[in-house]
Structure 1
């Protein structure tokens, strides 16, 4: 393993907060960020994060237990704020003594941050990490109890915001990094980029696409081959077809599945008109669509009709490698970049 003292010094705040060697979180990718990849990332010195997605509390309970059986090192759990059983999922995390919970998908509902921090009596509460697409929201989330913030640019895979990573970093890091822990995500594929964000004040980074095709990833070989063939311009953002339906854009490799999502939006918009379903129900239908489409691609290998969620860094993913090799290379690249400054 390469000695990386400069990187370690800049990552110290983030690594201490996460309880790991490298302040590198794995993005929560549904069906991909499960026990095998999560434990491998934690074992490699990073911080694995279980993607709860649409899991029931029972499924999450089993996944956390299985991950704990594979690693003794810290890992976190990502929960979607609009999940109808969010507080039950929080309770599952509490019973397992999960140290960090990442809240994604929207503003945390009332009482959720407090519930995570409260623990379950037998275990202390967890640290809360939230996503913030703007400086104002980052400040609000920190005031509301978030312990750390992730700023994720539109280059990322999966659900994305409208602003690039580089702009978010320039806007938010100078304003917050002296007093708060801010992790940067979106489009990061090499260590040189990590070095730049650390020098700007980031406590660490989050990468998803770079780890999606690791040897330990259970993703189907056809899914991985699609990544290896893709370039940055193949990872496109979905189009919103109805302004009344606030669908968060999703970045994925273009295929028949991306076209099918447009049809799904029209179907849900029609249900809003004709059936009078609530907006939360409409959004949940969209989320369930993505869960199914992702499964078709990741698990079944249907790369034509499934969802190939990928960030624009996908062009840097060219071969299947063990997580440890990927992590060591990222840290070596980061260290070399810092040494050249």
Structure 2
């Protein structure tokens, strides 16, 4: 801790909340944020988060157990709010005494926060919110911490940039609540800036996607190393009647295939064969399958290469612990610059 006194001091609330050496969370990336990367990040002083995604309760049960075999440090589990088995997944987290549950993908359904916090092994609840009003409501209704994630991020994103969200949310919330900032963060300099604005910590996904411990296919990693910031494009919503959360990924044939998938699902929705919730679930299943093709199979043409715009800062494979050390060193150097002390 003494190596990074200024950064650690600004991260104090986040470190205490997470129970970690550094308040650096790893964003949950389906097929990537599994036992190997999660344990490596936690062992490296950060906070790994298992991406449950479309896992069944049995698969999540096995993943948590395997992760606990690889680290005795704190880690969390990210659950998608629209998952049909959400409450069963919450029960699995309780069974393993998971300390932190991240609810993502939408407004937490009724009773979910209470289920996480009220069991025999209560966990802390971390949420996302696209608006300040909703953030305040969630935090005052039981959520323990908030992640504000800007449109620069990879995967599912909102419409507003991280820098604007930080300026809007942090002055209103940071004194009273634990708030992490995410989206477009690739260096310690940006971490320092958000900490000085009042953030308790940060969340990075893209920066860790190509860590040595990441099981992502070598071709998936090479695509990241080659990519520029502008290559990480946001998906287009085809039909306004089918609200689809935009996804940022490296442009390829899979991007075009998603546009076609939206038209297909919208047509079925119009026919009355399925309800809106099922339509949205089909879209989620599409992403899960497309992402697996890229991450696991290495199909970088047809799979989904979800990446944030900070992908341009990912240039080589490095151990997760080294990435964390580099980020902390950069943040500390930034905070010690004479111009900041003046």
Same fold per superposition (TM over 0.5): yes
Tell me the CA shift for residue 132 of structure 1: 1.1
Determine helix, strand or coil for the equivalent of 1:68.
helix
Q: Which residue, 269, 273, 278 being the options, matches 1:276?
A: 273
Residues 1:185 and 2:182 are matched in the alignment: yes
Answering whether residue 194 of structure 2 is matched by residue 204 of structure 1, we say no
For residue 198 of structure 2, give the secondary structure of its aligned residue in structure 1. Answer: coil
Alpha-carbon distance in 2 for matches of 1:314, 1:252: 10
Tell me if the contact between 1:2 and 1:328 (Cα under 8 Å) persists in the aligned partners.
no
Query: Structure 2 length as normaliser, TM-score?
Result: 0.98
Distance, in Å, in 2 between the alignment partners of 1:54 and 1:113 is 20
Q: Does 1:152 align with 2:149?
A: yes
> Please, what TM-score do these two structures have when normalized by structure 1?
0.98
Aligned counterpart for 2:313 among listed residues 300, 312, 316: 316
On the 8 A contact 1:2/1:332 being kept in 2, the answer is: no
Counterpart residue number, 2:226: 229
SS, match of residue 77 in structure 2:
strand
Deviation at 1:143, TM superposition (A): 1.3
| Selected match of 1:254 from 242, 251, 256 | 251
* Counterpart check, 1:65 vs 2:62: no
Find the aligned partners of 2:3 and 2:179 in 1 and give their Cα distance. 24
Structure 2 runs not aligned, ≥5 long: none
Superimposed CA distance per residue, residues 111-157 of structure 1 (whole angstroms, 9 cap, x where no aligned partner): 000000012x3xx3000000011111110101110000000000000
Say if 1:2 and 1:158 are closer, same or farther in 2 by CA, change over 3 A: farther
Partner SS state of residue 315, structure 1: helix
Tell me how far apart the structure 2 counterparts of residues 170 and 274 of structure 1 sit (CA, whole Å).
44
Alignment partner of 1:28: what SS? coil
Q: How does 1:66-81 map to 2 (within 5 A)?
A: 66-81=66-81
CA-to-aligned-CA distance 1:35-62 (integer Å, 9 cap, x gap): 0000000000000000000000000000
Q: Give the corresponding residue for 2:291.
A: 294
1:130-149 equivalence runs, <5 A:
130-149=127-146
SS in 1 for 2:301: coil
Query: Cα deviations across residues 251-272 of structure 1 (Å, max 9, x unaligned)?
Result: 0000000000000000000000
Distance 1:275 1:14 in 2: 47
Provide the C-alpha distance between the structure 1 equivalents of 2:103 and 2:94, rounded to a whole number of angstroms. 14
> Matched residue of 1:14: which SS?
helix
Query: How much is the aligned-residue C-alpha RMSD, in angstroms?
Result: 0.8
Alpha-carbon shift at residue 2 of structure 1 (Å): 8.2
